[in-house]
A and B are shown apart, each in its own frame.
Chain A
């Protein structure tokens, strides 16, 4: 079929086909890998107790994020999530920056996941201990598998959102169930296997260690806010988005606490703080082959689910910005058959490949965390402006978060503490990132904004805002 002209009124839109389960799979899928690896570096920063404090403080931060996001997204049901929120509530320059935060956070996280998956496959290859004819140990290279991960998941995303997120739902559920099975296998009701009393060593670096641990404490939950990116593809956004997001953060709080409890009771903090795959290592401590296989599968699945969700979210953010002409409009195209933002998906593939292929893992992760953190900081004043401009009762909300403005203020304080924590370890990267966003903002203000059709970008049928904003 070839169609070269547009029949009057014909439009192609993203497919509205997802349910709350897919929203849950998108949010938890992106994050659960943080339970399988990464969170434990907080143990290295300040000991096991500091990691638990970081787990709960970051949990509080993300509960605020989830509550705030659920309320605002239930009214701004548009692809692009926080970008669309910023556009309607704060203004174009903020929206442009938030859009970039999202694309960076998810593309970097996708690259980090691909690197990790390549490493895991390489490690398993190493465990087979093959040798060549001369008796030299053979090495399985990680690069082909890094590239394959990105290409396969991009292809899946290209072919349609329903298959992509159903795939995420299945593998995320398996990865979550694996943690629960391990939790019961260590018999948490006895001290037969777990040795918390013996392994808890207080705070080896004092309270500064607790602050430093916050940096990696975010890893337990980083990305749950990605649920909003599905807003234009979910069947009942006002109901499904808050439901998927809130059940997602509850799942993660449970998974994070169980993960800490298992690992901190099995491994000394000196080892745990630098382990690559702590949950898999916990299964190895149990000396049970089925558990080892299950947790290895969980590790692989959680990594895949995270990369998969990241491709989905980064492409939606890029697509939304292009649709409003914040970026070249060419990227704002929807595939007529698969109903996906196919040009955005294809464009971001080489970007992810470049970072996954050449950049070191810790740098990629730090850039992802920083981009996410900038996004959370935006949410604090975004929700305060939202409530002042459109108070309760002026527009219909699918969810109203309690105790406003307390969650916003708590979020702001926790963001400030986390900036300090990141600054302690990665001050140069923090400054470089800030500089990048400043230059990008100047480019947008003085060059790009002239292409934006200013009246067309505000699409929500809201009444005029109150106040002097």
Chain B
């Protein structure tokens, strides 16, 4: 780890950009793995072209889905 007291503003900005990028990447990766493990593969890949209007859709915030 670099000594923060010796960093100039540019270096701080660059490290900040790297840190945010890594955090966002890890968040997406973690959420992808969590979602993959929490739901069945059949459900996750159940979307079909042309069935949107009448699809019975799941939304966890509504606990089960709505038509």
Contacts and interface: CB of A to CB of B under 8 A. Distances in A.
B65 interface: yes
Contacts of A148: 17-18, 20-21
A343 interface: yes
A13 B58 CA distance: 8
A3 B18 contact: no
A345 B18 CA distance: 20
Nearest to A342: B32
A190 interface: no
A-B CB proximity, top 3 nearest? A459-B50, A144-B17, A333-B44
Nearest to A237: B52
B49 A320 contact: yes
B44 A334 contact: yes
A349 B25 contact: yes
B18 A144 contact: yes
B20 A141 contact: no
Interface of B: 8-10, 13-15, 17-18, 20-21, 24-25, 27-29, 31-32, 35, 38-52, 55-61, 63, 65
Contacts of A140: 10, 13-14
Nearest to A4: B40
Given A132-B8, A336-B35, A346-B28, A141 B14 contact: yes
A332 B43 contact: no
B14 A144 contact: yes
Given A14-B47, A337-B61, A346-B28, 11 more contacts: A11-B46, A16-B52, A138-B10, A139-B10, A154-B28, A324-B49, A333-B41, A333-B47, A339-B57, A349-B28, A459-B50
Given A3-B40, A6-B40, A144-B21, A336 B49 contact: no
A360 to B, nearest CB: 22
Contact size class for A?
A: 35 or more
23 contacts: A1-B60, A6-B43, A10-B56, A10-B65, A11-B43, A11-B46, A12-B58, A144-B17, A144-B21, A148-B17, A148-B20, A151-B20, A152-B21, A155-B27, A232-B52, A330-B45, A333-B41, A333-B47, A339-B59, A342-B28, A346-B28, A456-B48, A457-B49
Nearest to A138: B10
Contacts of A320: 49
A12 B20 contact: no
Nearest to A459: B50
A300 to B, nearest CB: 15
Contacts of A457: 49
Contacts of A155: 24, 27-28
Contacts of A16: 52
Interface string A121-139: 0000100001010000011
B47 A125 contact: no
Nearest to B52: A13
Contact of B38 (A1, A6, A12, A78): A1
B60 A11 contact: no
Grouping DSSP codes into helix (H, G, I), strand (E, B) and loop, the A interface class, with mixed when no group exceeds half, is loop
A151 B21 contact: yes
Contacts of A139: 10
A334 B60 contact: no
B45 A332 contact: yes
A460 B65 CA distance: 25
Given A158-B31, A335-B35, A336-B39, A145 B46 contact: no
A137 to B, nearest CB: 11
B21 A147 contact: yes
Contact of B47 (A11, A144, A151, A330): A11
A346 B46 contact: no
A350 to B, nearest CB: 10
A283 interface: no
A334 B20 contact: no
Contacts of A4: 38-40
